[in-house]
Amino acid sequence: MTLEEKVGQLFTTRVYGETADTAESSAVQMNRSFLEVDNAAQAIARYHLGGFVYFAYAGNTRAPDQVADLSNGIQRVARGRRLGVPLLLSVDQEQGAVVRLGPPATQFPGNMALAAGRDVAAAGTAARITGQELRAVGINQDFAPVADVNVNPANPVIGVRSFGEDPELTAQLVAAQVNAYQNAGLAATLKHFPGHGDTAVDSHSGLPVISHTRTELDQIDLPPFRAGIAAGVDAIMTAHIVVPVLDSSGNPATLSHPILTGLLREELGFDGLVVTDSLGMAGVREKYGDDRVPVLALKAGVDVLVNPPVMQVAWEAVVAAVRGGELSEERLDQSVTRVLRLKWRRGIVRSPYADTAALPHVVGTPEHLTIAQRITDQTTTLLRDDANALPFAADARVLVTGWDDPAAPTTTAALGAALTEHGRAVDVLSTGVQPTQQRIDAAVAAARTHDVTVVVTNRAPGDQGQLALVRALLASGARVVAVAVRDPYDATGFPQVPTYLATYVFNDVAMTSLAGVLTGSIQPAGHLPVTIPDPDQPGTPLFPFGAGLTTT
């Protein structure tokens, strides 16, 4: 391999367009802005790339057949190059809150919901099916599972992406998913090392500092990573976080030799692929320029550089660092070897293409959808029903209101439709992402004409409009059932609510399960994987870890 070919293998970047050779004007314009080429095929030729990461916003994941054609087109271009090395095609398909392939691909409830179900086998099944469907469309690496232990209710970036606050439970579920993903032929990727669970800063927009002691790291943050390594995980993603007890330099973990080489490689014994979180995030760009970040990451122990903000700048910086002696050829070869070894071990070299004829028999099959619903039915968590509002009477007139997905108002509609299927008379009044006073007034007026009102919330403590909506509904005298459809901590904004449930996710399978619980056809079986603090009594739980009621 030439130097340029070796350097290229260490880069995974996004690319815009539905096909490898897209000529669609908006995709071409976006690609030129940071890749300086028109499409994926040209990017492979220019940079000798080792991989791409797919995003819905980049137009990569519109439909299973389109994704398979994109993957096959990319791999045909790579196969036609001098070396013929296929690419790692990656995606963040965590399920739940972070999904790149939507329906008809099977949708599962996400990590915190799976932890609420307390079923390790179910978590493995969800990963196995997800892995099979991703592999079917030509994707061979998933940036999952999340191994962070979410011990901070104010965490703005992890939350329900985590399995919860218990390191042992998280470790069990992480190991199960690693095995399942990789048995399905997919490279699993733990994230975000050494643990992003105790921060109130989003590393997309700032640089978090984790103040844990080494003892706390060993007891809280590291057990899931140790379990994943013991399970043979292929890759680990770095976090753009500062951990002073591990590295006093102020460098984020992504650029820290003591963390990536000292702790991860030497102490934990990991010899798989170390990949960065996106290099376009603020957390890794605060201290150094975009030309220095990729070089420092490789010096720290990284193997794969993900999503640099300007590809040409990053690629040329690494080439120059090797030619100038800052990075040795031997160090470069270590990372290239790990990349090639993974591509060989996961069968990507032997079989890089998706079988498009097999798609209908793998992606979103009736069997997969049934399994997903059955798993989700065990995750809905009832935390309080002091008003004995559940189950809804057969003749109850039900209002569904509250938060809805900004992309499309589907959450309240899906819940309304599911309740209707259970024979309830339902009206739906979405109040959007941030309710205005006009919408709040309309919801309160509607609540007075219904027997029960279900108000859906999503991260309500940070949204005065949502808090005002729930409080106004409670003050109206209406019978109110509040449901947190993402982080279960929403109750801290309205601790007096008499009936409160958590679904941990707002997709259709979760709303179907919720409707079953509200109408009594499904028993709530979930148990909290986190502690919800009492806002009025610091240090006291409003709902403790493990809380969960039944309706009988």
- Catalytic positions are 204, 277
User: For residue 192, is the peptide bond before it cis, meaning its omega torsion is within 30 degrees of 0?
Assistant: yes
Q: Length of the chain, please?
A: 552
CA angle 344, 348, 350 (to 5 degrees): 80
Nearest CA among 504, 502, 494 for reference residue 461: 494
Q: Which stretch of DSSP H or E encloses residue 402?
A: strand 397-402
CA distance 107 to 122: 14
DSSP state of 490: G
CA dihedral 522→548→99→355, nearest 10 degrees, is -50
CA distance 206 to 239: 12
| Number of CB atoms found within 10 A of residue 550's CB | 11
| Number of CB atoms found within 10 A of residue 302's CB | 24
Contacts with 106 (C-beta within 8 Å, 6 or more apart), sequence order: 129, 130, 133, 363, 364, 365, 368, 369, 371, 372
Nearest CA among 522, 416, 409 for reference residue 458: 409
CA distance 136 to 141: 12
> In this structure, what token pair is assigned to residue 254?
């992504």
Q: Is 552 exposed, middle or buried (0-12, 13-18, 19+ CB in 10 A)?
A: exposed
| Amino acid letter, 430 | S
| Number of CB atoms found within 10 A of residue 119's CB | 18
Q: How far is CA 453 from the centre of its chain?
A: 31
Q: Are 284 and 293 in contact (CB under 8 A)?
A: yes
User: For residue 309, is the peptide bond before it cis, meaning its omega torsion is within 30 degrees of 0?
Assistant: no
| Amino acid letter, 547 | A
DSSP state of 278: P
User: For residue 223, is the peptide bond before it cis, meaning its omega torsion is within 30 degrees of 0?
Assistant: no
